[in-house]
Copies of this chain bind each other. A is one copy, B any other.
Amino acid sequence: MRIAFLGPHGTFCEQALLSVVDDFPGAEPEPATSTTAALDALRGGGADLACVPIESSVEGAVPATMDGLVESPPVVVVREILLPVRFAVLVRPGTTVADVRTVASHPHGEAQTRRWLSTHLPDAEVRMTPSTAAAAAAVADGQVDAAVCAPVAARHYGLEVLADGVHDTGDAVTRFVVVARAGCRLPAPTGADRTSIAATTVNEPGALLAILTEFAIRGVDLTRIESRPSKARLGTYWFFLDGAGHVAEAAMGEALAALHRRCTDLRFLGSYPRATVPAGSTAPSPPVAAPVAGQETADYEEAVAWLRALRAAPDPGVG
């Protein structure tokens, strides 16, 4: 089983994927040149799964992933991974701080480690690369002396860690998703799941309000809402919504069926276990709302049983 990930080797995406790869027995990670390429490989059959970044607590949504999720044929998220952002400075073996005259990184990496760099490498020239992994490759090639990148890049490029944890703020987190072709078996409910959808509505006042109400009235906590242009016209959008719960559960299922009736287009993008930030990180996990009284699965089952009894009343010869 091949898993395409946003490459090249040494990216945070690879690091995220490696943290869960044991749960996909027989999986072989393969770098793709872009998020779009990873999803295309999945759709085209060149990969069985794709692992791509979807959201960063600092940079926000990843547009290419959002847009890619609603293309055809349909795909679904089967896993999410929260990766605290942790930058390291990698060098060729034997290089010391005093040896570093040039340092490379992706602009995001440079931006998040600026304070460390100005303190510890005040005189080094900073060069930009298309990805943090490309910075590591440039060190391996001897083009620069140091790279600010994911620690995982060290092993791929034969580098060693000059300094670790060099990011200025410790609480940034990136969220990655593992995506499969629709029609696969969905992850079983765990009791702490998340469901993702994308929806378009008629362009009339209150349409989004009605969608949010369909979730709220059933006690489903929405954990994320994003809009992306529908490309048809300025002012028309895809709404991407994440909610707490699993499609196999009554409240979420009923809410999704309600949206199916209400939306002009509705894409089910998966139900999967909610990830938490790994132990050892100070970054906070996304907030989770408490269950709403009367809206839990047992309440739904009890209500359905009551309704079934009403409907199936025997015939006493009247009415």
Contacts and interface: CB of A to CB of B under 8 A. Distances in A.
A59 B229 contact: yes
Given A203-B287, A217-B213, A224 B235 contact: yes
Interface in A37-72: 48-49, 55-61, 63
B318 A234 contact: no
Number of copies: 4
B221 A185 contact: no
Interface stretch (A88-96, A114-122, A293-301): A293-301
B287 A57 contact: no
A48 B318 contact: yes
A163 interface: no
A258 to B, nearest CB: 7
Contact of A236 (B203, B254, B287): B287
A57 to B, nearest CB: 4
Nearest to A246: B311
A142 interface: no
Contact of A313 (B184, B234, B257): B184
Given A59-B229, A216-B205, A319 B272 contact: yes
Interface stretch (A4-12, A152-160, A173-181): A173-181
Q: Which of A78, A183, A210 gathers most chain B CB within 10 Å?
A: A183
Given A235-B287, A261-B294, A303-B261, A213 B224 contact: no
Given A235-B287, A318-B1, A261 B209 contact: no
Contacts of A303: 257-258, 260-261
Contacts of A13: none
Contacts of A236: 287
A82 interface: yes
B258 A313 contact: no
A167 interface: no
Contacts of A272: 319
Contact of A225 (B208, B223, B289, B311): B208
A284 B184 contact: no
Interface of A: 1, 24, 48-49, 55-61, 63, 78-79, 82, 171, 173, 175, 180-187, 203-206, 208-210, 212-214, 216-219, 221-229, 231-237, 247-248, 253-254, 256-258, 260-262, 268, 272, 283-287, 289, 292, 294-295, 299-300, 302-304, 306-307, 310-311, 313-319
CB-based closest 6 A-B pairs: A235-B286, A185-B315, A78-B319, A257-B303, A260-B303, A57-B234
Given A173-B234, A183-B316, A261-B299, 11 more contacts: A1-B318, A78-B318, A180-B318, A184-B313, A184-B314, A187-B319, A209-B209, A209-B212, A223-B235, A261-B295, A272-B319
21 contacts: A1-B318, A49-B318, A56-B229, A57-B233, A60-B228, A175-B234, A180-B318, A182-B313, A184-B314, A184-B316, A184-B317, A185-B316, A185-B319, A205-B222, A206-B216, A208-B212, A217-B217, A247-B311, A256-B310, A257-B307, A260-B307
